Amino acid sequence: MSNHRAPLVYLIGKDAAEDTIHYLVNLVAHSAALPFHIIIVTQTGSVHPAILALTQQSPHVEAISLDIPPHTKALLRLRILIAWLLSTKPAIVHLLAASPDTETEVIAALWVAQIPTRVVTLAEVAPTVRSDGVRPIYSFVVQRLLRTFSDIIVYTNAAKHILQQEYRLTHTHIAVIPIGIDTTVYALHMTPDRGRAAYNLPAEGQLIASVGQFAPHKGHSVLIHAMDHIWQYIPEVTLVLVGTGEHSAHLRALARQSAHPERILFFDDMPDRSGFLRCVDVYVQPSFSEPMSFDLLMAMAMERPVVASAIANIHEIIESNASGLLVRPGSSDALASAIMRVFNDAAIRITVSLNARTRVAQRFTMERWLNATVALYRFV
């Protein structure tokens, strides 16, 4: 460990997605000017290659894995975490968590070890009250533990409202710091036109695309059902779905049952995301729930007209009929109508595309996101 530098620990949550790793790589680079020795901690498994690369770039950055087996009992996991924290004595620990419920042992360990400054980023905050009106007992435990943090970072005002109202965190500092992307990378004028063939896309006809995990809450099934209506008027349009996940087999089965299964294409990934988005005519985000979406921001930055579900968190990204079109979640008819409107109305298509880019550039840049996060450390 570097001499005379207090440790700043980034603790990666168990369920961290690839987006979290990407964010962390940029955050560590942004934190390098601060007078800390940065330690990036993976709880289970090996250290991500992108994080290992950071350790080669600075003597003040190291990465370790606690190598806790995935199915370790909660009490043993808690003891391992406490022991490591007490031996390291960090000045700040920033936990990057998927949700409050997935990292209970870590949150408890930070409290027991009495870390001076505890920061947590919560990617998603779900309501605690069940449909029958009952509040699960674990939510009271999580509530008490969250109160021990110096700062809680969430991406949206909707998430902050849930923490304040349902978790009753009225006296805890909750910072709303929206996610961001690099708008110099996701820019139409900076992206070469490689043509559709480079991405194995059809040369003719319009393209509708949606990118994201294949899970029920993402609403891809609604989009597939909407295609049957769209094909009645625009038979040459193709739907491109990019992602993997538990719902993949179900979605492929739905596609086979559609009127034109040959016009629904599936890809596990599309590494050149900006080049792919350049080929797309309409981008769709049909989610039932969505904490925040990098893919949606990328499409908007690439000046693609977007159609998305009118749900709380997306409302904070898209201004309806200005930077995109919002529709009732779960309605294939409403979704189809909005997509048809984009295809048929050149004025709305051009307006929402240009406004989408402006919206992202003003509110959802990586630089803005990182600056606001690092600013929290300066109070230490």
In percent, how much of the chain has pLDDT > 70?
Answer: 95
Domain 6-180+366-377 sits in CATH at 3.40.50.2000
Q: What pLDDT does 138 receive? A: 59
Q: At what angle do helices 294-301 and 346-363 cross, to 10 degrees?
A: 120
**What is the DSSP code (8-state) at residue 207?**
E
**Which pLDDT tens digit goes with each residue over 131-179?**
444 455 556 777 888 899 999 999 999 999 988 988 888 888 999 999 9
Query: Strand, helix or coil at 145?
Result: helix
pLDDT tops 70 at residue 27:
yes
Judged against a pLDDT cut of 90, whether residue 379 lies above it is answered with no
Confidence band of 13 (pLDDT split at 50, 70, 90): confident
In this prediction, residue 97 carries a pLDDT of: 81
Comparing 6-180+366-377 with 188-363, is the CATH topology the same? Answer: yes
Per-residue pLDDT, 128: 58
What's the pLDDT at 134? Answer: 46
Whether the pLDDT of residue 95 is over 80: the answer is yes
d(CA 13, CA 110): 13
Confidence of residue 233 (pLDDT cuts 50, 70, 90): very high
Mean pLDDT of 59-88: 93
The residue ranges of every structural domain in the chain are 6-180+366-377, 188-363
Looking up tokens 């984009």, which residue turns up? 342
**Confidence band for 16, pLDDT divided at 50, 70 and 90:** confident
What pLDDT band is residue 359 in, cutting at 50, 70 and 90?
A: very high
Q: Does the pLDDT value for residue 87 go beyond 90? A: yes
* Residue 98 or residue 277, greater confidence: 277
The residue written with tokens 């997306």 in the block is 314
Spatial contact of 7 and 85, defined as CB atoms under 8 Å apart: no
Q: Which residues contact 344 (CB under 8 A, 6 or more apart)?
A: none
DSSP 280: -
Most confident range (mean pLDDT) of 109-118, 145-154, 219-228 is: 219-228
Please say if the pLDDT value at position 68 is more than 80.
yes
Mean pLDDT of 40-66: 92
**Which amino acid, one-letter code, is at 271?**
P
Backbone angles phi, psi at 268, to 5 degrees: -70, -40
The amino acid at residue 107 is I
Mean per-residue pLDDT for 93-114?
Answer: 88
3-state secondary structure of 174: strand
- Give the phi and the psi of residue 282 in degrees, each rounded to 5: -140, 135
| Burial annotation 56-84 (CB, 10 A radius, 16+ → b, else e) | eeeebbbbebeebeeeeeeeebbebbbeb
Mean pLDDT on 66-81: 91
Residue in 70, 77, 126, 129 with CA at minimum distance from that of residue 106 = 77
Backbone angles phi, psi at 213, to 5 degrees: -55, 140
Residue 129 in this model has a pLDDT that exceeds 60: no
Give the least confident one: 66-75, 120-129, 353-362.
Answer: 120-129
pTM exceeds cut of 0.75: yes
The topology under which CATH files domain 188-363 is Rossmann fold (3.40.50)
Question: For the CA atoms of the chain, what is the radius of gyration?
Answer: 22
pLDDT in tens, 266-316: 999 999 999 999 999 999 999 998 878 899 999 999 999 999 999 988 999
Query: Could you write out the DSSP letters of every residue in 334-357?
Result: HHHHHHHHHHH-HHHHHHHHHHHH
Q: What is the mean pLDDT of the chain?
A: 91
Bridge partners (DSSP) of residue 282 are 208
